[in-house]
Structure formats: structure tokens, C-alpha cells
Amino acid sequence: MEFKHRSVLLEETIENLKIRPEGVYVDGTLGGGGHSFEIAKRLTTGRLIGIDQDADAIDAATKRLSPYADKVTVVRSNYRDMGDELLHLGICKVDGILLDLGVSSFQLDTPERGFTYREKDAPLDMRMDQRQPLTAEDIVNEYGEMELYRMIRDFGEDRFAKNIARHIVAAREKKRIKTAGELTDIVRAAIPGKALKTGGHPAKRTFQAIRIELNHELEVLQDTLDEMIGLLNPGGRICVITFHSLEDRIVKNIFRKNENPCTCPSHFPICVCKNISKGRVVTRKPILPKEEELGENSRSKSAKLRVFERE
């Protein structure tokens, strides 16, 4: 199956990266290479490093970016290791970084990858990096009830998390839960009938929670944004596209903290903590998709772009 992924907020992201033809840029979530293609074609003597942990994405992006192979280096890795990967390439500082944190259309539309709740017989996989041994099936069948509850409550923001966790534990005592259809039926049975009529697919939040837990998505974002800001040259920008409130909150808070890191009490007449601002938040409010994009790509509806510029 061809790797397809429609790049969300493409024009807005490219515009906000302020690409310089001689600059060095990093796409930390390469995917199908849509954003990277637009970056690469604007470079003359510059360089682009594309990072992704998904083997299918690496293959697809390498082909897509082949017209610019002399300017592009593709690396299979997690963006959490961006600093180390850049050092291996002899790069200390860059002029722009992009993260598009959405699940790709290819991952969602390829049942065997196990990301979708819409394919009944799809396996419970959900690994962004298929080299890792733990799968969604392992989490569903081996996490304790309290661990499942905490995960679905915190990462799925589902008000029925406790009941869903209880139903999962009860069901797996009879037989191992192996498919998306089995898990979806269990979740549906755990949600009151009235609630099933509103709020979209009943399993959406549970699947999101498992995916985030399995791939450490929020943990990686929380632990690496400061470092990525530190990798930027003066005037360099980092653009982050998020798709749910948990990611967006992390990005917003870390960008704000890097703009104003002062920890002094508000009544202090002068700053004594000596924490120095690393730059400025370009987007006071997130940039959202335009009506035209929303009409063409329904998966863009929850996307938000935030931008930070290094001093």
C-alpha cells in the first residue's frame, strides 16, 4: 500500500518557518515527506534532515524527496534523539525544526498497523516503531485495572474510564483480546446508551490513550521541547502541529516558559533568579486550518500550529 498522508497546515507551517535558502532544517516527524518536500525545494546550499521512526514513512519519504537527495538526509530514529542524530552528522545548531504530531493517514488506513478502531479484524498493534516489542495488545491484556483506568482517564480524557477499564479486565479473563473489533465492542458495552448517541465513535478515546501510552508520545514531547529550542540558531524557529488538547497544552506551556522563565515572586521589584528568556512565542493563539482545508481534509479539524522563535 502506498504511504499517503496529507500534510496538515502546510502553507502556514512553511510560512512560519521563515526558510532561508542556505539554512539547516529538521523535520522531526517526516511521515510521507509532504512538509519536507516544500522545505527542500526552497533550499539552495541549505540542508534538511528528516527523522522518523516508522520504516514505511522512511521508505516513502526517501522516494518523495529523491529530487533533492543532495540536500536531504533521512534518518530512522525518534525525534527524542534529535540532538544526538544531528551531532553524528556534524551539526550543532539549526535554523528551523518542525514536528507534525499527528498519526499519518497511511497508519490509520492500513489495518495491519492496528491504529484504527474502524476495521473489526485489525490487530491491536499501534507501534510507531515496529522494532519495539511491546504492542497495544500487550497493554490491553497485561496492564492492571488501575493502570488501564489511569491511562484512559489521563490520555483519552474519557469520563467513563473506570468502567471501560473494568470491562476490559472482565473480558480478558474469558479470552485474550486480540482485535480492534473485540476491544471496540468491550468499550461500547461500558458506555451508557445515552452517551453512545453523542461524541463520536465510542472507542476513539480509548484507542488514543493506548496509542499515546504505547509510544510514550506525551513523555517524549515533554522531555525534548526544551532541548530542541536549545538547538536553534538565533532567529531560528520551531513549529509544532498538535492534534489533541494534551499535546497542545504541553507545547503552549513549554513555549511560554522559554519566553518568560523568571521564577521570582510577582511582588519582587527586580528579577533575582537570573533565568534568561530564550526567545518569543510567535503564536499567542494557535494557528488553525482554514475553511478550505477543513473541507478538503476532515482529519485536519483538530490541528493546531504553535511557533516559537529563538533569540
pLDDT of residue 5: 55
Domain co-membership, 31 together with 167: no
**From CA 29, how far away is CA 238, in angstroms rounded?**
13
Residue 56, domain CATH: 3.40.50.150
> Residue 12 corresponds to which cell in the numbers above?
502556514
Do 92 and 60 sit in the same domain of this protein?
yes
For residues 91 and 182, what is the distance between their CA atoms, to the nearest angstrom?
48
In a domain, residue 5? The reply is no
3-state secondary structure of 49: strand
Q: Is residue 1 part of a domain?
A: no
pLDDT at res. 3: 53
- Please tell me whether residues 151 and 224 are part of one structural domain: no
Which of residues 215, 246, 275 is at a domain's end?
Answer: 215
Q: Given 198, 215, 232, which residue is the final one in a domain? A: 215
C-alpha cell recorded at residue 53: 521512526
Residues 124 and 45 in one domain: no
Q: Where do the H-state alpha helices sit in the chain?
A: 10-17, 34-40, 55-64, 82-88, 105-109, 136-142, 145-156, 161-172, 180-190, 193-196, 204-215, 217-230, 245-259, 291-296
Say yes or no: 18 and 80 in one domain: yes
Percentage helix, strand, coil for the chain under 3-state DSSP, each rounded to 5: 45, 15, 40
Q: How many domains does the chain have?
A: 2
Judged by DSSP in three states, 285 sits in coil
Task: Say whether both 144 and 226 belong to one domain.
Answer: no
Q: Rounded CA gap, 252 and 121, in Å?
A: 38
Say if residue 22 is in the same domain as residue 59. yes
pLDDT digit string (tens) for the chain, length 311 residues: 555 557 999 999 999 999 999 999 999 999 999 999 999 999 999 999 999 999 999 999 999 999 999 999 999 999 999 999 999 999 999 999 999 997 887 888 889 999 999 899 999 999 999 999 999 999 999 999 999 999 999 999 999 999 999 999 999 999 999 999 999 999 999 999 988 888 789 999 999 999 999 999 999 999 999 999 999 999 999 999 999 999 999 999 999 999 999 999 989 999 999 999 999 999 999 999 999 999 998 889 999 999 999 99
Give yes or no for a contact between 137 and 210, defined as CB atoms under 8 angstroms apart: no
34 and 98 in a single domain? The answer is yes
Residues 6+ apart with CB under 8 A from 175: none
Domain CATH code at residue 138? 1.10.150.170
Q: Which of 38, 57, 51 is nearest to 86 (CA)?
A: 51
Give the residue from 215, 230, 260 where a domain finishes.
215
In a domain, 299, yes or no: yes
Domain that holds residue 237: 10-106+218-310
Distance of CA 2 to the CA centre of its chain: 21
Q: Is the same domain home to 211 and 224?
A: no
Task: Tell me, yes or no, whether 48 lies in a domain.
Answer: yes
Q: Where does residue 126 rank: exposed (0-12), middle (13-18), buried (19+ CB within 10 A)?
A: buried
β-pairing verdict for 24-27 and 47-52: parallel
Between CA 10 and CA 35 the distance in angstroms is 6
